[in-house]
C-alpha cells in the first residue's frame, strides 16, 4: 500500500527525519496510485530489496513520490519528471498552495498539462525527501549514516522502474529532466528503451567530466571535513551545517555565470560592512557576492541532509552513459525514444558542447535547442518556458 502526507507543516530544519517517512507502516508494493490522494501530496512505496551496481544489496527500499492528474485507461499518458541535485518531488502545486520548482513546465494548461497527463516525480534513491537514504532507518532501526552504500544513477533508475510497475505504467509518454534530472532521464531511455517513448535531456551531457567530478569532490570534501561530520554518523548530535553550507557555496558558483555575478554584485560591499576597513583579517566585512553565497548556503542547510548531499553528488559523479556499453554511439544505439536535447548558452558547469555531442550521437541525430539565459546553469529552471513551443509541438501536442 501507499501512504500519503502533506508537505505543509514539515519542519524546515529536518525534512529527512520528520517528513512522515513510512518506517514500518507499509507491508508491500502498491497496486497503483491511490486516487484518493490529492495532486501534489507525497506518497511512499516499498519496492523490496535492491541489488546495487556495487554488488551490495540495499534492503527494503522505499521511494517517495508525488503525482498529478489521472492515469488513463491504457496507461499511455504517464510523464516522469526527474528533479535535480537538491530538488524534491514537488514539481508543481496540485492541491497544495506550496509552489513547485518547475511550474513553467508542468501544471494545468502548462506544456506538461496535468489536466491531460499523469505526471510523476520520484525522490532519488539516497535522497532526504522520503526515499531510502543515509538518514532513514537501516534494518537495525538506526539511521544508515556512514553505512549507506554507494548508489549510481543506474541503481536509482532500476528502483524507479519498480515504482512504475507498481503504478501500472508499462511505458512513459515522456521522461524529462534538467541537470542531474536530465542524466536520470537519459539513463531511463538507455536502460529501458521499450518503456520511454520520448526523452528530454536538458543541461547535461552524456557523462560527468573530470572537471565536473573535481567540483563535486570539493563539495563532498567540504562536508566530510566539517568537525561535526563524525564520519557520517552525526544523527542525534550536532550536524555538519558549516560543511554543507560551504558545499552549497562551491556548487552555486558553478550554477551562475560570471557575467550574472558581476552584473548583480560587482565589487560592491555588503552594507553596512566594509571589506577594506577591518582592523584584522577576522573582522573583515563582506562583499555583496560573499553575502549572497552565505545566504545560499544557509538556505540549504535548513532543508537538506549532508549525507544525502554526498550520496546524490557521488551518484552524479557516476554518470557515464558509456560505462560498460562501448562508444557513445554504441551506448545510445538501443534508445528508441524521440529525443529533445537542450542546453543553456551561458552554462559553465555543463557546457553546451557536451549537449551537442550527445545530440549528434543519438540514433538519427537530434537537434540541439539553446536556452538563452545570462544567469548560467540555473537557466534550465528559470527559462524552461523557452522550450514550450518545441515541447508542445512534439512531445505534448
Residue 171: active-site member: no
Give the Cα-Cα-Cα angle 98, 8, 41 (nearest 5 degrees): 75
Q: What grid cell was written down for 384?
A: 524552461
Question: For the sheet containing 198-202, what is the strand order?
Answer: 3-5, 42-51, 57-68, 118-122, 78-82, 174-178, 198-202, 338-344, 368-371
Q: Give first-to-last CA distance, the chain, whole Å.
A: 34
> Among residues 173, 252, 369, 377, which one is catalytic?
377
Residue 388: active-site member: no
Q: Which of 394, 392, 397 is nearest to 339 (CA)?
A: 394
Give the Cα-Cα-Cα angle 371, 192, 109 (nearest 5 degrees): 45
Contact yes or no for 18/129 (Cβ under 8 A): no
The Cα–Cα gap between 278 and 302 comes to 30
Residue 179: active-site member: yes
> Among residues 131, 179, 257, 355, which one is catalytic?
179
Cβ neighbours for 127, distance < 8 A, ≥ 6 positions apart: 64, 88, 133, 308, 311, 312
- For 50, 60, 344, the CA distances from 28, given in Å and listed in that order, are 14, 9, 42
> Among residues 88, 320, 347, 378, which one is catalytic?
347
Q: What grid cell was written down for 57?
A: 544489496
User: How many whole angstroms from its chain centre is CA 170?
Assistant: 23
Annotated catalytic residues are: 179, 347, 377
Amino acid at each position: 500500500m501507499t501512504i500519503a502526507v502533506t508537505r505543509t507543516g514539515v519542519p524546515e530544519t529536518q525534512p529527512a527525519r520528520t517528513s512522515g517517512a513510512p518506517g514500518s507502516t507499509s507491508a508491500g508494493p502498491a497496486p497503483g496510485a491511490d486516487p484518493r490522494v490529492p495532486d501534489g501530496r507525497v506518497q511512499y512505496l516499498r519496492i523490496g530489496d535492491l541489488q546495487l551496481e556495487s554488488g551490495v544489496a540495499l534492503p527494503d527500499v522505499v521511494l517517495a513520490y508525488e503525482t498529478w492528474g489521472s492515469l488513463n485507461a491504457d496507461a499511455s499518458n504517464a510523464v516522469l519528471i526527474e528533479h535535480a541535485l537538491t530538488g524534491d518531488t514537488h514539481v508543481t502545486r496540485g492541491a497544495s498552495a506550496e509552489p513547485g520548482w518547475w511550474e513553467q513546465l508542468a501544471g494545468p494548461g502548462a506544456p506538461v498539462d496535468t489536466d491531460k497527463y499523469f505526471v510523476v516525480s520520484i525522490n532519488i534513491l539516497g535522497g532526504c525527501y522520503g526515499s531510502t537514504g543515509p538518514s532513514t532507518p537501516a534494518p537495525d532501526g538506526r539511521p544508515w549514516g556512514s553505512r549507506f552504500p554507494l548508489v549510481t544513477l543506474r541503481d536509482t533508475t532500476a528502483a524507479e522502474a519498480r515504482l512504475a510497475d507498481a503504478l501500472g505504467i508499462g511505458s512513459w509518454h515522456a521522461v524529462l529532466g534538467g541537470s542531474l534530472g536530465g542524466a536520470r532521464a537519459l539513463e531511463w531511455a538507455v536502460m529501458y528503451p521499450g518503456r520511454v517513448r520520448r526523452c528530454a535531456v536538458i543541461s547535461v551531457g552524456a557523462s560527468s567530466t573530470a572537471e565536473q567530478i573535481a567540483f563535486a569532490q570539493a563539495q563532498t570534501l567540504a562536508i566530510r571535513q566539517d568537525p561535526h561530520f563524525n564520519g557520517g554518523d552525526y544523527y542525534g548530535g550536532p550536524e555538519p551545517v558549516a560543511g554543507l553550507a560551504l558545499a552549497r557555496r562551491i556548487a552555486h558558483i558553478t550554477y551562475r555565470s560570471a557575467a550574472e555575478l558581476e552584473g548583480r554584485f560587482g565589487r560592491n560591499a555588503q552594507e553596512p560592512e566594509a571589506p577594506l576597513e577591518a582592523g584584522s583579517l577576522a573582522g573583515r566585512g563582506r562583499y555583496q557576492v560573499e553575502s549572497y553565497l552565505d545566504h545560499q548556503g544557509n538556505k540549504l542547510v535548513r532543508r537538506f541532509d549532508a549525507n544525502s548531499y554526498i550520496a546524490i553528488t557521488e551518484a552524479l559523479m557516476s554518470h557515464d552513459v558509456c560505462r560498460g556499453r562501448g562508444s557513445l554511439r554504441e551506448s545510445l544505439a538501443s534508445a528508441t525514444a524521440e529525443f529533445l536535447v537542450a542546453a543553456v548558452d551561458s552554462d559553465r558547469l555543463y557546457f553546451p558542447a557536451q549537449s551537442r555531442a550527445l545530440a549528434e550521437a543519438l540514433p538519427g541525430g537530434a537537434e540541439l535547442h539553446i536556452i538563452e539565459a545570462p544567469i548560467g546553469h540555473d537557466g534550465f529552471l528559470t527559462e524552461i518556458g523557452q522550450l514550450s513551443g518545441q515541447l508542445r509541438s512534439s512531445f505534448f501536442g
